[in-house]
Amino acid sequence: MEYITVVETAAGWGVSPRRVHRYLQDGRVKGAVRFGSAWMIPADAEKPGDPRREEGQISLSSDLADLFAATTALMPRNNPDAILDSVGEERLRLHYEGELAYLRGDFERVAGCFRKINSEDVASRLCACPSTIAAAVSLGNFSLYQELETWLKGILKANIGAELKAIAELSLDTVYTGAAVPHLVSARLKDGDFSALPPQARPNAAYKRAKYFQSVKKYESMLSVAQTALALCESEQGISHSDIYLRVVCVLACCHLNRTDEAKKYLLDAAQICLPHGFITPFVESAAEFGGLLWECLAPKFPAYHLDITKRWRRTAENWVALHNRLADDNIAITMSLRDTQMFVLAARGVPYREIAKQFNLTVGRVNNIMQEINEKLHVSSKKEHSQNYFYNKNK
């Protein structure tokens, strides 16, 4: 008979290793053999039913904790899609299918996976909400966004436990940090209080806190939070959503702090993890903020993806700007191409024109002409105004 470990069994059954140990301790896994402190489980052993679930006794908090443990397994670095074959439970498969689709920019599929979740499965819906609500905005599907926002705010008002409320807040913070509306970000995220969150959700919360620091221009704090969280969660054994996004936010922080060499390293690391598998969304979302690094680092090594990112950026960015305009006091509009926006960002950061010219393979004179054209589009007449109009033209 072939035996497998607790970890392998947990992956196959779509539960946490802790749950498998409970089954073993209760004597509910037929044929399992114990050797000292280790267990060996028949490869064909069937997952026991959960009597608490069958009797309606399992709590939402317990279900949520188990679900987070089961949906944060590392995806194989050489073939992330293999994770789909390692989970047996349908709701876990839907979760990973949605995560993979999100990373590839297939936002319709993300929404479709969410729709397949049982409407009464609150834990699964909460786990899927961060990616789904972000996908809704990227699609410009504001009816879905409003549906999810209303549902999440309902969770916050209900008396259903601190863990569920913390996860609901984290989903809302996904869009509030993405749309650069820091006044709406939860106090929990601002203070860095992650105690109510499942441990597996904390790297994602750290990423969003770093994005919050970006929106309030605290770039040293932004980098510190991201680097610390990355050091705790990164692994050479596989790929995780947080591992990717923490690298991206390190790029952005280093760009703001003019630590260009570090920014390039983080960007190339993220690209080498993501782009061989078609994971372009992290780069599309931050394409303008990367400035010239996107052009300089990705165009030579990943020319096909560089073009794809450039094409997708404008449509996605327009929808996030539309959300910003709904939620913020100011009104902003995209009026430039991605290249012009990147050059505008660099100039706003105080990068000399000669450095901008080098990154975009242009002459200094050409950069000067482009910047004059940009300033005319944005009705900017001084460098101070240029910096104040960071990224987009503000129409009061």
List, in order, residues 6 or more apart from 103 with CB less than 8 Å away: 241, 244, 274, 277, 278, 279, 280, 281, 282
Contact of 72 with 87, CB cutoff 8 Å:
no
Whole-number pLDDT of residue 63: 82
- pLDDT tens-digit series, residues 58-95: 577 788 888 888 888 889 989 999 999 888 788 899 99
Beta strands in 78-201 (DSSP E): none
Taking 80 as the threshold, does the pLDDT of residue 248 lie above it? yes
Overall average pLDDT of the 309-338 stretch: 83
Cα distance between residue 61 and residue 329, in whole Å: 37
Whole-number pLDDT of residue 51: 53
Give the global pTM. Answer: 0.78
> Which one has a higher pLDDT value, 328 or 270?
270
List, in order, residues 6 or more apart from 166 with CB less than 8 Å away: 188, 194, 196, 197, 201
Taking 70 as the threshold, does the pLDDT of residue 355 lie above it? yes
Write the DSSP assignment of 238-264 as a string of letters: EE-HHHHHHHHHHHHHHHHTT-HHHHH
Would you place residue 54 in the very low, low, confident or very high pLDDT band (cuts 50, 70, 90)?
very low
Burial of 157 (0-12, 13-18, 19+ CB in 10 A): exposed
Overall average pLDDT of the 105-126 stretch: 93
Whole-number pLDDT of residue 395: 36
Choice among 1-15, 123-137, 219-233, 306-320 with the minimum mean pLDDT: 1-15
Length of the chain measured in residues: 396
Residue linked to tokens 């069937």: 46
Whole-number pLDDT of residue 1: 74
Identify the structural domains of the chain with CATH numbers, from first to last: 1-58 (1.10.1660), 310-396 (1.10.10.10)
List, in order, residues 6 or more apart from 228 with CB less than 8 Å away: 206
Cα distance between residue 188 and residue 212, in whole Å: 12
Cα distance between residue 347 and residue 394, in whole Å: 17
